[in-house]
Structure 1
């Protein structure tokens, strides 16, 4: 009987954790100022665009492909928005300095390298557009 209660408790805990993680996916967070921007990221920022979206990916990440398509399409349809991608597979020091805990992570940068916002997971198009609107006007 005790084994049944333990199994039930584990199932409930796993279900709650799954819903919590799913709720965080694609959520836009306002950024906190970071110390030093890695050179690999600095080189990707377009100084002529008001916002550059830098997608931080890895080669084995399936959601990264979906994010690439979504962000490329969004950048092609939005004036002042650029999309770049950085593969972090062989750059653990860059991932650590940017505090990337999962891929894909999308970071919006101003031309001066200031981080505007960050999205963990596949972004929700409408939410991302709304969050970027003040920076593109």
Structure 2
């Protein structure tokens, strides 16, 4: 019995293929997430808003009482045990210190679930760039890079 029973080699072969397929799929998903993580792209339609009515701040009706920036506001949704949220906090605070008229506001997603649902925030950290009126201009899910935040602000504030 040098090769063992035929059914055993067939099971091992099938199991190896399942493992290979699982590894390929996991790697593809990881590459996809790495490519999209922290990138600013588009906006999200605010639930309950009519297209022509989106002239008020996304924070209207919420209990967040923070003054918006003269030019823009970096609105960050975080959670307590989110490691990328801490890095994002540092990056956005640095950008707000460097760019005049820009402020950084951090919101605890766990304590503002109604706002999270209304704005369609699916994960933390999520950063919304708001114009001076508080309207969403663009957003990024995941930890953005400082140079990308600066480039996005330069593009959106021009």
Match of 1:90 in 2: 111
Asked if 1:120 is matched to 2:132, the reply is no
Question: Once the two structures are superposed, what CA deviation does each residue of 1:59-87 show, in whole Å capped at 9, x if it has no partner?
Answer: 11111111111111111111111111100
Match for residue 33 of structure 2 among 13, 21, 38: 21
Match for residue 65 of structure 2 among 18, 43, 46: 43
Pairwise CA distance, 1:134: 3.8
Two-structure CA RMSD over aligned residues (Å): 1.9
Unaligned runs of 5+ in 1: none
Asked if 1:9 is matched to 2:12, the reply is no
Aligned-partner SS, 1:43: coil
Aligned-partner SS, 2:41: strand
Unaligned runs of 5+ in 2: 1-12
Match for residue 102 of structure 1 among 123, 141, 153: 123
> So what's the TM-score if we normalise by structure 2?
0.78
What is the rounded CA distance, in whole Å, between the counterparts of 1:41 and 1:116 in structure 2?
21
Change beyond 3 A, Cα 1:126–1:65: same
Larger Rg: 2
Question: Once the two structures are superposed, what CA deviation does each residue of 1:88-122 show, in whole Å capped at 9, x if it has no partner?
Answer: 11222221111111100010111222111101111
Alignment coverage as a number of residue pairs = 136
Moved more, 52-61 or 36-45: 36-45
Question: Once the two structures are superposed, what CA deviation does each residue of 1:27-83 show, in whole Å capped at 9, x if it has no partner?
Answer: 11122553273433763351x511011111111111111111111111111111111
Match for residue 30 of structure 1 among 42, 45, 62: 42
Match of 1:64 in 2: 85
